Amino acid sequence: MPPKNTPIAKNAPIVSQVPKNQVPSSDGSGISRAEQAMAFLSKYPQAKHNFSAFCVLPRNVRFQTQEDTEDIILLLRRHPVTNVPWILIAILFMFAPMAALPISNLGGLVAFLDRISIGLLPTLLAFWYLGIVGYILVNFFFWYFNVNIITNRRLIDLDFYNLLYREFSEALLVKIEDVTSVSGGFVGAIFDYGDVIVQTAATMERLEFDRVPHPQEVVRIITNVMEAARYR
């Protein structure tokens, strides 16, 4: 309060002006609607590493077209349980020679290979397991680098189909019209994963986040980020 003897200007404003991008909330808390929309992120633990399929505010992660003022809100990959089929195949092929050698020995195949070359069998096994390692690495890299990214400006779907071809799709938050989640199947219901479909008003019809964890939470995050972008 000013001292009693200090005059107050007649034209002094009663309420201070607030910038357009800092619209106060209806409850008078002084927090902008954009800040309120983003405050929900506090309930999600920040990702401690970037190998997770559901990374909130990931650290030390950037993509090629990221702008200086653009922040990554959520980084998504396919649910880890979707890796189980190729992991089981790799394990099966690892133990296949151990099961095949006794059977082939009964048929005289090992003796035949030994007559051709003493070191042929170890060489074949080395190439066999080298192929299995390559199979594991390729599947892991496809899982790791096929990502969906939610930033404070746009949604990004990055798909690697092979080592030489990739597809980059994006949708600005202001162009998004509808966001829905689709969960189906017994395994998807148990492990809580499904598809998130983003319908846009642009020439590209939609983005699809394939078999991501917690699809309903992803929809909620996108909705809040869209609201924050509207008042920014």
Which residue has better confidence, 162 or 145? 145
What are the tens digits of pLDDT across the range 84-137? Answer: 999 999 999 999 887 766 655 555 555 655 565 556 777 888 899 999 999 999
Q: Cα–Cα distance between 61 and 126 in angstroms, integer?
A: 37
Work out the average pLDDT over 157-173.
Answer: 87
> Strand locations in the chain, DSSP E?
54-56, 72-76, 147-151, 154-160, 166-172, 176-182, 193-200, 206-213
Q: Is-contact 215 182, C-beta < 8 A?
A: yes
- The token pair at 25 is 């909330």
Q: Are residues 122 and 171 in the same domain?
A: no
Other residues' Cβ atoms within 10 Å of the Cβ of residue 127: 10
Q: Domain range spanning residue 123?
A: 83-141
Q: Is-contact 56 73, C-beta < 8 A?
A: yes
What are the tens digits of pLDDT across the range 50-67? Answer: 889 999 988 888 888 899
Average pLDDT in the chain:
79
Residue 67 belongs to domain with CATH number:
2.30.29
Strand partners, 169: 157
Secondary structure (DSSP) of 156-175: EEEEESSSS-EEEEEEEGGG
Domain count, the chain: 2
Of 95, 117, 141, the domain-final residue:
141
